[in-house]
Every structure is written in structure tokens, then in C-alpha cells.
Structure 1
Amino acid sequence: MADGLMRAGKVRTAASLYEIALRRASPLQRNAILVRQGLATYPHQRRVDLLGALEKLEGFGSHVFIGEGLATWHKTTPFLEDQRFVELAHKHASLLPIANWHWNLQTVLWALKRARGIIGDFVELGVFKGHTTIFAAEYLEFAAWDKRWHLYDTFEGIPDDQLDPGWAASNKATYSGTFSFEEVRDRFSAFPNIDVIKGRVPEVLEDSTPERIAFLHMDLNNSTAEIAALDALFDRLSPGGIIVFDDYGWATARAQHDAENQWFSQRGLEILALPTGQGLFIKPV
């Protein structure tokens, strides 16, 4: 019934029914309902297409998970067995216009846990509304960590002179009047060790960057700024430090992928492409 309601556009009613169904679901049923619940938060009609794809994949077997750009089946989904993860992902889902970002969030959590023991602070370049960082900060109780997290963004979109081909329309639609720097800054008010900094990369990095970096999350959606950021920050990345490239494997971000591959290959290094669309790099010790 709930699936039919979602197809009919009655998303809130469908979400309520999914919530009721969770209370008496078996573990396997629970996973299927949680995936549907995530699709119900997607502010786009494509949720119906994703629901249809989900149902087709369920015909192949169990443990199906689907989000924007990634579907898995016959795979363990440990995040769906983690109640805290599920609750926080659902709590902040509206901050990101993409459904079921769980695999990507899991990658970032893994990197942050590993980076906790590495010398240096954390840096995020490209914050948007703060979805990934607020999720991770709450999950990890980051306020109690002996680290600082520096978040940089223009909060006004990608500067025109940094736009890669094909990004102009998306840039305008995503950023024009949809949120503000103040809104994002206030979202992190409970974390005295998180700094939200407004400015253009790479220029803003000249004045307020930590001397040592343990974790770098790169999500600037353009190759010009990301290569400039690598030039500015790579030497500050501690041995064993981790970079997660948010856009690296997405077809729409091919300019970033190619530019970063060239930058790393010139140094005898390589980024690992992940099926999430992310790229992962660990600096050699």
C-alpha cells in the first residue's frame, strides 16, 4: 500500500506507513522498509523511478539497497543495522537533494575514525548545507574530540570562472537563494571545534588553514579549485592522512576525475575509485 501511495505522490502518508511497518518488521523486512523510507525523503519525482528499480532488483534476491547512482544486492549493509546511523541519516536527509546517501556516509565515517589517530586537523572544501559533516559530527560526538574541523565554501555556488563545462545551469539551480552561510554556520553551533569559513578556494586557504591535516574532504564540484587546493594543501597532509574526493567517480565530474588523475600520476600516486562515486587516497607513510 505504501509503495502505491508513493507512486501517487502521497509521500507523507507513505512515509508514515513505512514508519508503522518498521515496528513489527523482521530484520530482512526492516532493511527493505528503510530503503523505501529513504526514497520517500527524496524531493524529486525520480523517487518513483528508483522505487521501480528497487522492486526489480528485489526479484533477483535479498539485501537490496538503492540510492542515487548506486544499487547493491546480495551485499551486507551494516549501516542499516546501526540504529544511530539510520536515525541520523534520516534526520539530516533533507539537507541533501540526493536519496539514500548511506554508502557515501559510511566511507566518510571510516576515514574520520582512521584519521582520529593521525596528526593534524580535518578540512572540508565544499560544504553545501553541511549534510555530511553534521551527520558525521553528531554520530562521532566530535565535540569531545581533540581535533578541529575547518569547513570552507563560498556558500554562493561555484565562481563563474571556475565552472567546468556543463555545470552552469546546475550551479544556479542548486545555490540561488536556497540557503545561506549563516544557516550553515548556525547548524554547527553545538560544536565549538568546528569552524565554518566563508570564502573562495584557493584564496581563502592562504589565511586560515591548519598547519597539519589528517583528513581532507574534497567536494568543490570543479577541477580548477580542487587542483589549486591540492597544490596548497597536499604537503600539509600528514603521512597516513586521508583524502576523500566526493565527486571523483561521477560521470558529471569527469573534468575533476581527469585533472586529479593527472595531478597524482605526476607524483607517482593514485586515487582509488569507489563505486559510490567517491575517490579515496591515503598518503604513504
Structure 2
Amino acid sequence: MLSDEFRFKLLVKLGSLIFKQYPFKWSQLDWLRNPWFRSYLEKFGEERGFNKERRWILRELMRLVEMVPGDTAECGAFEGAGSYLICHANAANCNFNRVHHVFDSFEGLSTPAAVDGAYWHKGDMSRGEEIVRKNLTEFSAYELHKGWIPERFDDVKEKHFAFVHIDVDLYQPTLDSMNFFYQRMNPGGIIVCDDYGFTTCPGATRAVNETLRNKPEKMIALPDGGGFLIKGISASSRGALDT
């Protein structure tokens, strides 16, 4: 019987012949075998998908805000996979009774601007509100704010936040989300932009960089896409992605 290591090396060899530019990664990682995380991926049909690394990072970043006061939010829910991880962490937090706020049109993307490139189209990523509610059934401390960003942001204008996940793909809703939530983050709070650094989302990357241009915080780009900042923690602008 072929060992896992031999099969992995064979896969890399064959893959490099077909797609030379693709950077294969090690498969011998403990987090890929975490039972709870594997069941989570299966719940959302992502066990064979390409979001695993960003889901794991989101889960880990929630650990950094365990002692940071404030609610949590997600802009762009799709089927609720990101909100599930956030709600799960909130439910286990003994320090704060947080409410998670979900903002989504549930009609897919708005019309992309020229800065967004040609990858996305109006209506892409559309999922119904009932799908998100079904996937978050085991949680009660959340609120859905249905509408186009930023029209429902006034619902939470008096609140402050510990963690915000932005996943709206396009320039304008990313810019609106960054501008609104940045000033409402408590010190030590984290903003994650799931689309940062993707060639398919140049508008989102530009919106983040524009928001932070004169701010001490900078987005830390992650190797599997996305990025995050910690409110109140300065970061060098050297090497930052720019569009």
C-alpha cells in the first residue's frame, strides 16, 4: 500500500506538470485533522473546497478577541459559514454576552464598478435569508439586518465591536464597511477582510488600503487570501499590497 507521503509527492509531481504556477502546500498539518473543524467543513460542504485555510484563520483570530468587549458583525454572509464560526466562539465566551450582527442583501452582489474588474457580476453569490437562519439554528444571540450595505448600518451605529468579518467582494460595499466599523472597533478588536489580496477582488483590496492610508493600522495579508488588522496596533506599510 502506498504511504500518504508518497501519494502526496506523486500528486505534487503530476500537478506541477499540469499547472506549473500552482504552489502546492504541505498536507501534514494537524489542523486539517481537527475533528470539530472537519465536521464544520462538512456541514458547509467545504471539506473539498478552497476556503479551509481562511475558515481556520477566522476561528483562530476569534481567540485573540476573547477579552475584548463589544459585539461582532459580518458583512456578506453567503450561507453563514463565517457567522457560524463567530457565533460558536461567542457562545463559548464567558466574559461577554455578545450579539452577532449579520448584514446581507440576500440578493447577491450589487453592480460591480470598473475598479472591481470583470470577474464578478450583479447577483453573483446570491443566497436566501432562510439558508443562513437554518445554518445558525443552534445559536440565538444574532440578528440579521437585511438590505444593501450600508443602508442598515444605522441599526448598530451606537454599538462598538470586538470582531468584524467583511466579505462583500466589491469596492464600494467594502469601503462603506471599513469606514463604518473602523471607528467603532474597541482597542484590540479585529477586522478581517476575506477578499483582500485576491486578483478577483481588486476593488476590495483598494478599498481597504484607501481606508487605512492615513491610519496607524495596516492590513496584514494572509498567504491564502484575506487579511486582518488589530485596532490600536500599528503596522508598517512596507510590503503592503497596493492596487
Does the TM-score normalized on the shorter chain lie above 0.5? yes
Deviation (angstroms), 1:263: 1.9
Which aligned pairs between 1:1-285 and structure 2 lie closer than 5 A? 29=4, 55-56=11-12, 71-73=24-26, 77-93=29-45, 99-135=49-85, 137-138=87-88, 140=89, 142-145=90-93, 146-160=97-111, 164-169=116-121, 171-175=122-126, 179-209=127-157, 211-284=159-232
Instruction: Kindly state the Cα deviation for residue 185 of structure 1 after the two structures are TM-superposed.
Output: 2.0
Q: Which residue of 1 is the match for residue 237 of structure 2?
A: none
TM-score, length-scaled by structure 1: 0.68
Where do 4+ consecutive residues of structure 1 move more than 6 Å? none
1:38-66 superposed Cα distances (whole Å, 9 cap, x missing partner): xxxxxxxxxxxxxxx98125899xxxxxx
Larger radius of gyration: 1
Give the unaligned 5+ runs of structure 1.
1-24, 36-52, 61-68
Tell which deviates more after alignment, 144-153 or 243-252: 144-153
CA distance in structure 1 between the aligned counterparts of 2:12 and 2:105, rounded to whole angstroms: 41
Higher relative contact order (CA closer than 8 Å, sequence separation 6+): 2
> Is the CA contact 2:87–2:142 (under 8 Å) kept in the aligned structure 1?
no
1:68-111: CA deviation from partner (whole Å, max 9, x where unpaired): x87412x75231231111122122226x9x81422111110111
| 1:214–1:242 Cα contact (<8 Å) kept | yes
Contact 2:163/2:190 (CA < 8 Å) preserved in 1?
yes
How far apart are residue 161 of structure 1 and its match?
A: 6.7
* Aligned residues between the structures: 224
The C-alpha deviation readout for 1:5-51, integer Å capped at 9, x for no partner, is: xxxxxxxxxxxxxxxxxxxx99x84x999x9xxxxxxxxxxxxxxxx
Letter in 1 for 2:78: F
RMSD, aligned α-carbons: 3.2
Displacement of 1:189: 2.5
Structure 2: which 5+ runs fail to align? Answer: 17-21, 234-243
> Under a length normalisation based on structure 2, what TM-score does the superposition of the two structures give?
0.79
Match for residue 63 of structure 1?
A: none
| Overall identity of the aligned pairs, in % | 24
The structure carrying a bigger helix percent of its residues is 1
**What secondary structure does 2:11 align onto?**
helix
- For residues 124-155 of structure 1, what are the alpha-carbon distances to aligned partners after superposition, in whole Å with 9 as ceiling and x for unaligned? 001011122224545x4x43542211111001
Task: Give the distance between the partners of 1:229 and 1:155, measured in 2 at CA.
Answer: 17
- C-alpha distance in 2, partners of 1:173/1:229? 19
SS in 2 for 1:172: coil
- Post-superposition offset of 1:269: 2.9
CA change 1:100–1:159 in 2 (3 A) is closer
The separation in 2 between residues aligned to 1:131 and 1:222, in whole angstroms, is 19
